[in-house]
């Protein structure tokens, strides 16, 4: 164990028996550290040293969302400084309309430590009040975390002997009055009655207070609302204590760092702020690349190929340099985290790691950024703060989610400023609604929607040529996620559904008194349609039926969107997600003027119904009821089974597997898969993740279930992928692994998995790089599969001796009747021997005959299987080594010419001519590089 990790282990052991204190500074997505500060010579009983150790442990804690994507990280290797620019008071409200405009900022980037350097205009004997502000996702909490850890290790702000961090969310929840020293002691027991906080002399000049998330507190600096206080021992409401610290009336020598969102910038009067600094995030591709390099390369570690991680970073950087839409999104460090988490999910899936889903990544991303975030009412109110605030995430769903849903419904990804105003603003009436809207637009809207930098992409011609600025979602998948969340939460109710919902609640709360019932109902609708209420009163289940119908419509929408015929030529959704992040290299795909396909939308809807995601969403104030999940699941099962009765292209079938995987409902998965008898995934670019999804889905089925056919031809399978696919191999009768670079090592891995499958009847390993040694091992294990009937090892590297061993093993096998060996480097003598070996030894015909397909001829006769051999060659010529295939076809022609010369019968010679014609036509097709047409 390395020295830093050994020290960390000792610290963790020391702290396990102590009381845990929760410092609820919500961690920013992206930077979490494990580092041990340098040991000091001070006594271990020094309260400051104890404070440093405990702060380090608390601020090094990795949230669950972070731990699932890799190991432990250190500040030295992981942290990338965001752009922080000091602002003059008159410039503080200036916003950046485009991420790329920050590159033109002339002011140099500053560090937090530089912000606390002495200035000439500061008052003597007073500490500095620094206000660090920025929009959601720019990295405020990340900077705070790094600052605390660096202070603990003694690498920054060393002139402060004591750093006291506070979460303003925690302070806003305190209902009892408390003094400053009590507030500190409540969070940090070891600092109770510490002399630096006594207020005596100028000791407080060595103290730095840190208040993270000031927008969560409605501070009131009016004298009538917050009395003056200079005594650290006087008990007051927490907001009053903080106000007096900022006024410099309480511990004036102490310095203070405040972080807040843009909308709350002016809640602290300008006269109480020494310095303003705005955090902009990652303003250039080099900062973004530094983040991706440190995280992806370190995450690759021992579990993923380092070369693959390097290639991913290079592709990402190329995409960022093009000033792509991804670069605009990664202006916010939060989206850099989302990008890394998604790529880790797509490329470094480990079958032994906890289950991860794409829906879970996006849900975790929103929880990290909006967990605990509320939309307050602003200042100047006497209403308790808990009653003033509502879930910010729910507000996002009802505004941005509504816009996202409309875009999906009409296949649009771009929106004008007028449309944003219409959908986000809506019909606001009260001053309070207008205040909330202003706060939302200032703090949050730019987090989800940014100016379109890839103009004309997926836009109708009239829109792409318009001068009006268009806005798109920061990442395309976020539009589909929010649209799915909008639907699953039931926010797209019809007018009748909303009406009956209100009436149902009203009836439930009303007494049996008719007059009381009439008064309540009259608040909802005019008297002229009072008959509706009489119907609901007479038929209490009417609302329930309408609600159930709505859940059924959600299920129909999911099934319909998943199997859209016009989207059947698109790549599967996982490849589409990857192309969004890494860009498209080579020939550009066709741009569809009618709009892009939204194939992730139904998959996200399924993933959102999973219990784990519903728990996270409930923490965000977005509750999906269990009854809703049950109703949608029942309806979805019916529609999926119906759709799967029709043939589906491989890409659509892969999307279905992803949906079932994201749903994480084994019972539903088993019932849907039970209706599938074949899974043709040929030409799908398989990855470890896709292999894991296939195995996970098939593992939900009972032991009695078997696939008639599992086709994984031309899927770029590797040895590692075969190991992940072991559970899938147990369920199939006809297994096709053609045209995959398995080599001998991959075939050995396959042979280790196949004994668990006792129902295998057909196995195709054509064009898999199979050599003599693996062929001999295969021959030795054929007896383990008593039901095997056909073995295809054509177009490999099998020579005479190994081929003869295979024929002998097949002849001794109880059920194998056909062995494919054509397009292998066999000699003429070897091919003749193979034919002879396939014929039964006994003259009475009691032995078994094995059809050996080694050439279009068998000795001096035409092989009865010449036509299927040529058909296989024609079907695969475009993906095979043309030179080798042409060489084999020329050998076929030589064999045919020799056989024709041996024939006396005119009819047989004509038959040879006919076969020769077919071979020559195939050869000409290869030489002209043209598809076969006849």
Range name among 38-47, 222-231, 563-572, 763-772 with the lowest pLDDT average? 38-47
Cβ proximity of 732 and 760 under 8 Å: yes
Q: How confident is the model at residue 681 (pLDDT cuts 50, 70, 90)?
A: very high
Cβ atoms of residues 748 and 781 within 8 Å: no
Given this model, what pLDDT does residue 592 score? 41
How much is the pLDDT for 616?
92
Give buried/exposed letters for 571-594 (b at 16+ CB in 10 A, else e): bbbbbbbbebbbbeeeeeeeeeee
Cα(214)–Cα(212) distance, integer angstroms? 6
Flag whether pLDDT at 3 surpasses 60.
no
The reported pTM is 0.82
CA 333 to chain centre: 16
Is residue 448 over pLDDT 90? Answer: yes
Mean pLDDT (the chain) is: 78
pLDDT at 192: 87
> In the prediction, which pLDDT does 235 show?
93
Distance CA(91)–CA(71), nearest Å, equals 42
| Residue bearing the bigger pLDDT, 73 or 832 | 832
> To which H or E segment does residue 530 belong?
helix 530-538
- Given a cut of 80, whether residue 690 has pLDDT beyond it is yes
Mean pLDDT along residues 649-675: 92
Nearest in space to 28 (alpha carbons), one of 402, 275, 337:
337
Q: Identify whether the C-beta of residue 744 lies closer than 8 Å to the C-beta of residue 769.
A: yes
What are the pLDDT digits (tens) for 298-339? 654 454 467 788 888 888 888 888 777 888 888 888 898 899
Position of tokens 């066709």?
Answer: 590
Q: Which residue has the higher pLDDT, 5 or 186?
A: 186
Per-residue pLDDT at 881 exceeds 70? yes
Q: Provide the 8-state DSSP code for 257.
A: E
Interstrand relation of 83-87 and 275-281 (parallel, antiparallel or unpaired): antiparallel
Q: How far lies 699's CA from each of 138, 612, 696, 705, in Å?
A: 42, 20, 5, 10
Distance CA(785)–CA(779), nearest Å, equals 11
Number of neighbours of residue 29 by Cβ within 10 angstroms: 28
Q: Which domains does the chain possess?
A: 47-97+105-281 (3.40.50.300), 285-348 (no CATH)
- pLDDT of 400: 93
Each residue of 600-628: pLDDT tens digit?
Answer: 988 998 999 999 999 999 999 999 888 88
Kindly report the backbone phi and psi dihedral angles of residue 762, in degrees, each rounded to the nearest multiple of 5, phi listed first.
-135, 130
Task: Give CA–CA dist 149/153, Å, rounded.
Answer: 6
Cα–Cα distance between 719 and 768 in angstroms, integer? 11
DSSP bridge pairs for 257: 130, 210
pLDDT recorded at residue 16: 38
Q: How confident is the model at residue 703 (pLDDT cuts 50, 70, 90)?
A: confident
Q: How far is CA 77 from the centre of its chain?
A: 24
- Let me know: does 287 contact 321? Beta carbons within 8 Å: no
What is the spatial distance between Cα 112 and Cα 86, in angstroms, rounded to a whole number? 10
* pLDDT greater than 50 at residue 36: no
More confidently predicted of 590 and 47: 47
Give dist(CA 559, CA 36) in Å, integer: 52
Specify the higher pLDDT residue, 350 or 776.
776
Q: Which residues contact 191 (CB under 8 A, 6 or more apart)?
A: 47, 51, 162, 164, 184, 185, 197
What is the distance, to the nearest Å, from the Cα of residue 851 to the centroid of all Cα atoms in its chain? Answer: 50
Band of residue 94 on the pLDDT scale cut at 50, 70, 90: low
Two tokens at 488?
Answer: 């699953």
Q: In what order do the strands lie in the sheet with 255-260?
A: 83-87, 275-281, 129-133, 255-260, 207-212, 162-167
pLDDT at 548: 58
DSSP 357-375: -HHHHHHHHHHHHHTT-EE
Residue 217's pLDDT is 87
Share of the chain above pLDDT 90, in %: 30
How does pLDDT run across 364-404, given as a tens digit for each residue?
999 988 887 777 654 444 444 444 467 889 999 999 999 99
> 94-108, 153-167, 280-294, 537-551: which has the highest mean pLDDT?
153-167
pLDDT digits (tens, 9 = 90+) for 409-430: 888 999 988 888 887 877 666 7
Region 115-127: mean pLDDT is 75
Beta strand residue intervals within 304-422, DSSP E: 374-375, 390-391, 415-416
Q: How far is CA 138 from the centre of its chain?
A: 20
Reported confidence tier of residue 664, pLDDT bands at 50, 70, 90 = very high
Whether 496 has a pLDDT exceeding 70, the answer reads no
Which range of 65-69, 212-216, 458-462, 516-520 scores highest in mean pLDDT? It is 212-216
User: What single-letter DSSP state applies at residue 28?
Assistant: P
What is the chain's percent helix, strand, coil content, to nearest 5?
55, 10, 40
Structure tokens at 903: 């024939």
Over 90: is that where the pLDDT of 679 sits?
A: yes
Give yes or no for a contact between 816 and 826, defined as CB atoms under 8 angstroms apart: no
The percentage of residues in the chain with a pLDDT greater than 70, rounded to a whole number, is 75
């Amino acid at each position: 164990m390395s020295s830093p990790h050994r020290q960390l282990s000792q610290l963790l052991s020391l702290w396990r028996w102590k009381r845990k204190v929760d410092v609820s500074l919500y961690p920013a997505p992206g930077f979490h550290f494990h580092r041990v500060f340098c040991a000091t010579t001070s006594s271990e009983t020094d309260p400051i040293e104890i404070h440093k150790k405990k702060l380090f442990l608390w601020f090094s804690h990795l949230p669950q969302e972070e731990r699932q994507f890799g190991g432990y990280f250190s500040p030295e290797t992981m942290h990338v400084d965001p752009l922080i620019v000091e602002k003059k008071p008159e410039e503080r409200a200036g916003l950046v309309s485009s991420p790329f405009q920050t590159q033109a900022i002339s002011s140099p980037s500053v560090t937090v430590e530089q912000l606390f350097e002495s200035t000439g205009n500061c008052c003597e004997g007073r500490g500095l009040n620094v206000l660090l502000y920025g929009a959601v996702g720019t990295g405020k909490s990340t900077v705070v975390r790094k600052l605390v850890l660096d202070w603990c290790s003694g690498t920054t702000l060393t002139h402060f002997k004591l750093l006291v961090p506070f979460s303003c969310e925690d302070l806003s929840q305190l209902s009892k009055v408390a003094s400053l020293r009590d507030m500190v002691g409540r969070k940090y027991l070891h600092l109770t009655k510490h002399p630096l906080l006594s207020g005596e002399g100028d000791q407080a000049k060595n103290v730095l207070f840190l208040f993270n998330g000031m927008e969560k507190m409605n501070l009131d600096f009016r004298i009538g609302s917050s009395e003056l206080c200079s005594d650290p021992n006087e008990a007051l409401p927490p907001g009053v204590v903080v106000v007096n610290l900022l006024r410099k009336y309480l511990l004036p020598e102490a310095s203070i760092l405040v972080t807040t969102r843009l909308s709350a910038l002016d809640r602290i009067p300008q006269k109480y702020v020494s310095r303003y600094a705005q955090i902009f995030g990652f303003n250039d591709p080099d900062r973004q690349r530094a983040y991706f390099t440190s995280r992806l390369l370190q995450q690759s570690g021992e579990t993923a190929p380092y070369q693959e991680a390097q290639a991913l970073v290079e592709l990402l950087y190329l995409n960022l340099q093009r000033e792509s839409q991804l670069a605009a999104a990664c202006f916010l460090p939060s989206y850099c985290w989302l990008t890394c988490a998604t790529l880790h999910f797509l490329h470094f899936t480990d079958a032994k790691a906890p289950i991860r889903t794409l829906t879970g990544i996006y849900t975790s991303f929103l929880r990290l950024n909006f967990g605990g975030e509320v939309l307050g009412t602003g200042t100047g109110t006497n209403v308790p703060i808990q009653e003033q605030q509502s879930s910010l995430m729910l507000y996002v769903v009802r505004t941005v989610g509504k816009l996202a849903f409309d875009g999906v419904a009409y296949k649009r990804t771009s929106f004008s400023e007028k449309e944003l105003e219409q959908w986000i603003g809506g019909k606001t009436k009260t001053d309070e609604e207008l205040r909330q809207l202003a706060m939302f637009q200032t703090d949050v809207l730019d987090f989800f929607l940014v100016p379109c930098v890839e103009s004309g992409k997926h836009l109708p011609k009239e829109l792409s040529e318009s001068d009006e600025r268009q806005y798109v979602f920061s990442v395309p998948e976020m539009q589909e996620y929010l649209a799915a969340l909008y639907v699953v939460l039931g926010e797209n109710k019809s007018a009748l559904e909303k009406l009956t919902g209100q009436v149902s609640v009203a009836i439930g709360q009303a007494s049996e008194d008719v007059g009381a019932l009439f008064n309540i109902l009259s608040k909802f609708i005019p008297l002229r349609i009072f008959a509706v209420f009489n119907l609901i009163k007479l038929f209490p289940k009417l609302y329930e039926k309408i609600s159930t119908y709505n859940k059924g419509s959600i299920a129909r929408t999911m099934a319909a969107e998943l199997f859209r015929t016009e989207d059947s030529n698109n790549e599967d959704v996982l490849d589409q997600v990857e192309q969004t992040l890494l860009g498209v290299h080579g020939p550009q795909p066709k741009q569809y003027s009618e709009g892009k396909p939204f194939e992730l939308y139904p998959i996200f809807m399924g993933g959102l119904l999973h219990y784990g995601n519903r728990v996270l969403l409930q923490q965000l104030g977005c509750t999906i009821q269990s009854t809703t999940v049950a109703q949608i699941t029942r309806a979805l099962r019916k529609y999926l089974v119906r759709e799967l009765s029709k043939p589906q292209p491989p890409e659509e079938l892969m999307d279905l597997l992803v949906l079932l995987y994201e749903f994480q409902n084994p019972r539903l998965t088993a019932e849907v898969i039970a209706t599938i008898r074949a899974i043709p995934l040929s030409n799908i670019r398989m990855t470890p993740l896709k292999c894991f999804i296939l195995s996970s889905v098939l593992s939900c089925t009972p032991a009695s279930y078997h696939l008639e056919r599992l086709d994984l031809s031309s899927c770029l399978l590797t040895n590692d992928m075969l190991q992940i696919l072991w559970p899938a191999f147990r369920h199939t009768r006809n297994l096709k692994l053609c045209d995959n670079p398995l080599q001998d090592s991959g075939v050995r891995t396959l042979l280790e998995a196949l004994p668990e499958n006792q129902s295998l009847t057909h196995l195709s390993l054509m064009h898999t790089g199979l050599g003599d040694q693996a062929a001999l091992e295969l021959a030795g294990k054929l007896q383990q599969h008593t039901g095997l009937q056909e073995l295809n090892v054509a177009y490999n590297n099998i020579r005479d001796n190994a081929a003869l061993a295979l024929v002998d093993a097949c002849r001794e096998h109880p059920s194998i009747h056909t062995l494919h060996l054509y397009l292998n480097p066999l000699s003429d003598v070897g091919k003749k021997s193979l034919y002879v070996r396939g014929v039964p030894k006994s003259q009475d015909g009691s032995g078994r005959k094995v059809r050996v397909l080694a050439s279009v001829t068998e000795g001096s006769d035409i092989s009865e299987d010449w036509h299927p051999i040529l058909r296989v060659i024609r079907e695969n010529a475009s993906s095979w080594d043309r030179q080798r295939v042409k060489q084999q076809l020329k050998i076929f022609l030589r064999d045919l010419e020799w056989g024709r010369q041996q024939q006396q019968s005119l009819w047989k010679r004509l038959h040879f001519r006919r076969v020769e014609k077919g071979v020559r036509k195939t050869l000409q097709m290869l030489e002209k590089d043209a598809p076969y047409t006849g």
